[in-house]
């Protein structure tokens, strides 16, 4: 079962990391557009539309990836104090009542929007000769399908936690600096840090 969960996590991670490169493209494009507009006096009317589509693609495709890492922001400050089984029960109820219906609606509507857009070869009408919209609208059903698949994996994790009382292990990923792990890596003990802290005021007094 753990291999199955990890396989879906890897799929979400793969797409999340691939689409994260759009951030680099978006940064370069904005920088060039600013330079072109204010230095070369040559603005591009399609640039704003493309920027929105790039950002929207990153935002949507990061949903399943972030869910696989349990990285979405929680609004309930009491949640962290609950025991694992209570957390799993709340999550399971919310997944079934709100998450699954909402994501199914997103994927279903996305298929319709993308199909219609491809059928008419839709372009943006905000500016003259606007960029094509159908590739961007294709991201809607793709993001919905990935998010739905990852949601089923999270439901399984909730069920496992209800049975065992512990959350299943997740795949390792890039995280913020963990001070305790960093101290273990460089073999620094708390006693050494305390000694250095005690020496600091003495050295400052000697300089004075």
Each residue's pLDDT tens digit, 14-57: 999 999 999 999 999 999 999 999 999 998 888 889 999 999 99
Structure-token pair, residue 109? 């509507």
CA distances from 103 to 8, 60, 84, 185 (A): 17, 12, 25, 42
Element (H, E) at 155: helix 134-164
pLDDT in tens, 91-123: 999 999 999 999 999 999 999 999 999 999 999
Counted residue by residue, the chain has a size of 208
- Count of domains observed in the chain: 1
Neighbour count for residue 148 (Cβ, 10 Å) = 17
Per-residue pLDDT of 150-203, as tens digits, reads 999 999 999 999 999 998 888 776 555 555 666 666 666 667 667 666 665 555
**The whole model's pTM is what?**
0.76
Helices 100-120, 134-164: inter-axial angle, 10-degree rounding: 160
Question: Are 29 and 50 within 8 A, CB to CB?
Answer: yes
CA of residue 52 relative to chain centroid, distance: 17
Distance CA 100, CA 107 (A): 11
Q: Which residues contact 147 (CB under 8 A, 6 or more apart)?
A: 63, 64, 67, 103, 106, 107
pLDDT band at 208 (very low <50, low <70, confident <90, very high): low
Look at residue 6 and tell me whether its pLDDT is greater than 70.
Answer: yes
The rounded distance, in Å, linking the Cα atoms of 144 and 127 is: 29
Q: Which residue has the tokens 């990061």?
A: 62
Give the DSSP letter of residue 132.
Answer: B
For the CA atoms of the chain, what is the radius of gyration?
Answer: 24
* pLDDT for position 158: 95
In a domain, 18, yes or no: yes
pLDDT, mean over the chain: 86
Tell whether 80 is covered by a domain: yes
Is 67 within a domain?
Answer: yes
Q: Is residue 120 part of a domain?
A: yes
Token pair recorded at residue 189: 């003990």
| Any domain includes 58 | yes
Token match 């390792």: residue? Answer: 172
In a domain, 68, yes or no: yes
Q: CA-CA distances (angstroms) from residue 204 to 98, 119, 192, 199, 207?
A: 59, 74, 19, 9, 5
CB 80 within 8 A of CB 51: no
* Phi and psi at residue 132, to the nearest 5°: -65, 140
- 174 assigned to some structural domain: no
Q: Name the residue range of residue 200's domain.
A: 2-169+179-207
Report the SS3 class of residue 26.
helix
């Amino acid at each position: 079962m753990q291999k199955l969960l990890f396989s879906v996590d890897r799929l979400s991670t793969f797409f999340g990391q691939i689409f994260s490169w759009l951030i680099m493209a978006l940064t370069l494009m904005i920088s060039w557009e600013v330079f072109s507009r204010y230095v070369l006096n040559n603005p591009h009317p399609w640039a704003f539309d493309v920027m929105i589509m790039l950002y929207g693609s990153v935002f949507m495709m990061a949903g399943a990836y972030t869910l696989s890492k349990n990285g979405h922001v929680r609004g309930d400050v009491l949640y962290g104090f609950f025991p694992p089984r209570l957390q799993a029960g709340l999550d399971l109820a919310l997944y079934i009542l709100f998450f699954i219906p909402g994501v199914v609606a997103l994927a279903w509507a996305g298929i319709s929007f993308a199909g219609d857009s491809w059928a008419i070869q839709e372009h943006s009408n905000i500016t003259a000769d606007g960029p094509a919209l159908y590739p961007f609208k294709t991201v809607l059903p793709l993001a919905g399908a990935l998010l739905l698949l990852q949601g089923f994996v999270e439901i399984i994790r909730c069920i496992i936690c209800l049975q065992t009382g512990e959350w299943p292990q997740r795949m390792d990923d890039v995280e913020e600096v963990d001070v305790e792990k960093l101290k273990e890596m460089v073999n620094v003990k708390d006693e050494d840090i305390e000694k250095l802290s005690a020496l600091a005021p003495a050295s400052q007094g000697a300089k004075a």
